[in-house]
Amino acid sequence: MSELVFFSGTMDCGKSTLALQIEHNRSTRGLQGMIFTRNDRAGEGRLSSRLGLVTDAVEARDGFDFHSHLVRHLTAGGRTDYVIVDEAQFLTPDQIDQLARIVDDLGMDVFAFGIATDFRTRLFPGSQRLMELADRIEVLQVEALCWCGARATHNARTVGGKMVVEGAQVVVGDVGEPTAEVGYEVLCRRHHRRRLTAAGARAGALSPDVLPVDAPTAPHMR
Ligand SMILES: [Zn+2]
């Protein structure tokens, strides 16, 4: 039975690396995959991992129809045994429905990789639809770590180095680029709620005016 599988995790948890590993494992067994992505850090039509691996992919723009694309490919004599979709949080709910149709009507496994929640801790619409439709959800256990060493479960957006909790849901940026205007950082929930990034914690350690990281907070601050 073919399956729609949603591999979910924070930024920096190794999703794209796993996507490339699945592609490698299957292609070395003679299977043919169709790879899709959207807004990859390496640019259009590329699926890249932070460890430096990269492969070509089909860019799924606004209005792109996954199901029609596969049907056209098969009708033209192409072969596809399975489908990989990276950055699936950026897809619309309709596009996720198309992925389910590929599984059910075309009999292909679809492996979708994405971040569950945005920088405000809200589900991306595409990720919500994947949770509703997926046969299986795998929460990735290659754990990203907060600067404090705790498991990082939340994505923070920084603008000019400061953590923000308002703004458009999708602004492309990456973790580990502190000089970028818009950046991202993974945090534990505690530090996401306190809006305390690594840079903020460093500044706080130098300034007596800022609440120490491990100081108990008053109830109204929780
Ligand atoms: Zn933390």
According to the model, what pLDDT value does residue 97 have?
98
Q: Known binder of ligand: residue 19?
A: no
Question: Per the domain annotation, does 136 fall within a domain?
Answer: yes
Question: Per the domain annotation, does 161 fall within a domain?
Answer: yes
- Taking a 5 Å cut-off on Cβ, the residues next to ion ligand 1 are 146, 148, 150, 188, 191
**188 pLDDT exceeds 50?**
yes
Q: If you measure from the C-alpha of residue 219 to the centroid of ligand 1, how many angstroms do you get, rounded to a whole number?
A: 19
Q: Known binder of ligand: residue 128?
A: no
Q: Are residues 161 and 196 in the same domain?
A: yes
Q: What is the pLDDT of residues 137-159, one digit of tens each?
A: 998 876 788 999 898 889 999 88
Q: Known binder of ligand: residue 109?
A: no
Q: If you measure from the C-alpha of residue 188 to the centroid of ligand 1, how many angstroms do you get, rounded to a whole number?
A: 4
**79 pLDDT exceeds 50?**
yes
More confident site: 21 or 132: 132
**153 Cβ contact partners less than 8 Å away, ≥ 6 residues apart:** 10, 188, 189, 192
Q: What is the pLDDT of residues 17-39, one digit of tens each?
A: 889 989 989 998 999 999 999 98
Q: Are residues 89 and 47 in the same domain?
A: yes
CA gap 49, 17 in Å, rounded: 5
Count CA within 13 A, CB hemisphere, residue 176.
6
* Domain CATH for 185: 3.30.60
Q: Are residues 105 and 175 in the same domain?
A: no
- Report which of 206, 147, 47 is spatially closest to residue 156, judged by C-alpha positions: 147
Q: Residues 222, 194: contact at Cβ < 8 Å?
A: no
CA gap 170, 119 in Å, rounded: 9
H-run or E-run covering 46: strand 46-48
According to the model, what pLDDT value does residue 221 have?
44
According to the model, what pLDDT value does residue 39 have?
84
Q: Are residues 89 and 28 in the same domain?
A: yes
**One-letter amino acid of 76:** A
- Report which of 196, 97, 78 is spatially closest to residue 147, judged by C-alpha positions: 196
Q: If you measure from the C-alpha of residue 213 to the centroid of ligand 1, how many angstroms do you get, rounded to a whole number?
A: 9
Q: Are residues 10 and 67 in the same domain?
A: yes
Q: If you measure from the C-alpha of residue 69 to the centroid of ligand 1, how many angstroms do you get, rounded to a whole number?
A: 43
Question: Per the domain annotation, does 14 fall within a domain?
Answer: yes
Q: Residues 156, 23: contact at Cβ < 8 Å?
A: no
- Specify whether 166 is catalytic: no
Question: Per the domain annotation, does 220 fall within a domain?
Answer: no
More confident site: 83 or 10: 83
Q: Are residues 97 and 171 in the same domain?
A: no
Q: Are residues 89 and 50 in the same domain?
A: yes
Q: Residues 7, 112: contact at Cβ < 8 Å?
A: yes
Looking at 23, 44, 59, 87, which residue is catalytic?
87
Give me the domain span that covers residue 182. Answer: 144-207
pLDDT band (50, 70, 90) for residue 220: low
Question: Per the domain annotation, does 217 fall within a domain?
Answer: no
Q: Are residues 79 and 117 in the same domain?
A: yes
Q: Residues 119, 164: contact at Cβ < 8 Å?
A: yes
**3 pLDDT exceeds 60?**
yes
Question: Per the domain annotation, does 88 fall within a domain?
Answer: yes
Q: If you measure from the C-alpha of residue 208 to the centroid of ligand 1, how many angstroms do you get, rounded to a whole number?
A: 20
Q: How many domains does the chain have?
A: 2
pLDDT band (50, 70, 90) for residue 222: very low
CA gap 102, 106 in Å, rounded: 5
**One-letter amino acid of 16:** S
**One-letter amino acid of 180:** A
- Report which of 9, 168, 210 is spatially closest to residue 199, judged by C-alpha positions: 210
User: Positive or negative CA dihedral for 168, 172, 177, 179?
Assistant: negative
| Mean of the per-residue pLDDT values of the chain | 87
Least confident of 71-75, 194-198, 217-221: 217-221
User: Could you write out the DSSP letters of every residue in 101-117?
Assistant: HHHHHH--EEEEEEESB
* Domain CATH for 4: 3.40.50.300
Q: Are residues 181 and 81 in the same domain?
A: no
Q: Are residues 16 and 79 in the same domain?
A: yes
